[in-house]
Amino acid sequence: MRAYISGPLTNGHNPEELKGFYEVLASLCEARGLEAYLPHEHTDPVTNGGISPRDVYVRDVHEIAGSELLLVYAGVPSHGVGGEVVFAGTVGADVILIHERDAKVSRFLLGSPAVVDTVVIESLGTAEIPVGAALDKWLARRQAGHQTRENAAVLTDPGIARKLLSRELRIVDSSTDEDVFTVDDSGRVVELEEGQLDAHGYKLRAGDLYSWRVGGWANLKKSRYYDVRPGESVIIRTRERLALPLDIVGTVHSLARLTLAGFSHTSTSVHPGWGTGRGGPAPLCVEVHNVGMSRLRISYGERFCRVIFFLAAAKAVIRAPTFEQVTAEFMTAAKARQDKLNVGRRRQTGALIVAAIAAVGGFFAVYLFIDLKAAITGMASVLVALGIGWAFSERLRLGFRNQAEDQPTE
């Protein structure tokens, strides 16, 4: 689990003291097994002043969206801190507020439904013990919720729970080749890794990624991440492998935090009988599209979608295609799309070369028959027009390239 350390950086009365306090908060989190993110180590307004406000916003929003907890120092008024607390509420992250006893804290902030606890301290130097106690309480509450999470929506139907118990319905982590659920001594289904199962379904993680820009699989496990450019579509192959019996169907949905960041995904289905062939449980291939204005990062093992299971009234008559069949169909379609893109790029490049040759010819013609100044002015205008034309055609090419085509998404 991850914790985001939130606090004023721009208008703090003593920035160095505040940064030291934030580092104490991070160490308290890390001592309890939480991965802590400190904004001032990445987007500090002094040491990282060259980063644009837009990039700071995108980075912070992305980090908050990937965190389960925000530790927020609210002793000094800050627009940024208020915005981070509001955003935390939209993505389901918990907030623990920290402020001095005599600090005047906005009632709007105190009243946020994302705030699960408030720690009142005498001073920054005396905060370690009460903040540590608040973290322990939050973790205990979280653990209690985790232990009863077998009652979440994905398992509320007794029929689905029985399918998991009998291993007819399986979700396997491809990195360990083990089922992600186990059965405890009382016969309850319990997830092995906390945070995957929630009240809506089971969150799936990124295992690999296919990019038309690079023309192949990105090997996320080795590269650790891939930055999806604005307007770019990619296929994400899940780290989990699924096997569904013939009387269970699944639907795949986007996570709110990724949708808010700019990712778009059309909900897809998982056929009854998926992953029950000779190859065993099989991953899903899910297409996502970056509709935002900034690059969006997909990291190996990052939760990016949710699968919800439904028990059918009867077993399916038509069996699902095998993963090999879907992959072969997908690769054929991907190759056709890549070939089409290559043809378009060659035509685009050829047209610009012809235009450049014509521009050079026009330069010499004007130079020989009129004068040098007019030739230089005309040449500069042509080069500017070529640059604008190239940028516009490249933008169009990106847009056309990522228009949805019939791609297998199971």
Render pLDDT for 174-220 as a digit per residue (tens, 0 to 9): 888 888 877 665 555 666 666 677 666 788 999 999 887 777 888 88
What domain range includes position 337? 329-401
Asked whether 80 and 18 are in contact (CB, 8 A), the reply is no
In the prediction, which pLDDT does 224 show? 86
* C-alpha dist (Å) from residue 326 to 152, 190, 238, 388, 410: 31, 31, 14, 41, 7
| Last residue in a domain, options 320, 353, 375 | 320
Structure tokens at 409: 């998404």
Asked whether 261 and 190 are in contact (CB, 8 A), the reply is no
Residue 407 located in a structural domain: no
158 and 284 inside one domain: yes
Query: CB-based contacts of 406: which residues, under 8 Å, 6+ apart?
Result: 333
141 and 154 inside one domain: no
Structure tokens at 305: 């979608």
44 and 126 inside one domain: yes
**Rounded CA separation 167/164 (Å):** 5
pLDDT band at 404 (very low <50, low <70, confident <90, very high): very low
127 and 259 inside one domain: no
Q: How far apart are the first and last CA of the chain?
A: 29
Mean pLDDT of 56-65: 85
Residue 350 located in a structural domain: yes
66 and 87 inside one domain: yes
Asked whether 281 and 243 are in contact (CB, 8 A), the reply is yes
316 and 248 inside one domain: yes
Burial class (CB in 10 A: 0-12, 13-18, 19+), 347: exposed
Structure tokens at 376: 């230089």
Structural domains counted in the chain: 3
> 348 vs 298, which has greater pLDDT?
298
| Last residue in a domain, options 320, 347, 376 | 320
CATH of the domain at 131: 3.40.50.450
Query: CB-based contacts of 148: which residues, under 8 Å, 6+ apart?
Result: none
Q: Name the residue type at position 363.
A: F
Whole-number percent of the chain with pLDDT over 70: 75
115 and 196 inside one domain: no
Tokens 């939050």 — which residue? 138
Predicted TM-score (pTM) of the model is 0.52
Mean pLDDT of 111-124: 88
In the prediction, which pLDDT does 240 show? 93
Q: In 10 A of CB 353, how many CB atoms? A: 10
- pLDDT digits over 375-387, tens only? 666 667 766 766 6
Averaged confidence pLDDT in the chain:
78
pLDDT band at 157 (very low <50, low <70, confident <90, very high): low
108 and 188 inside one domain: no
Residue 409 located in a structural domain: no
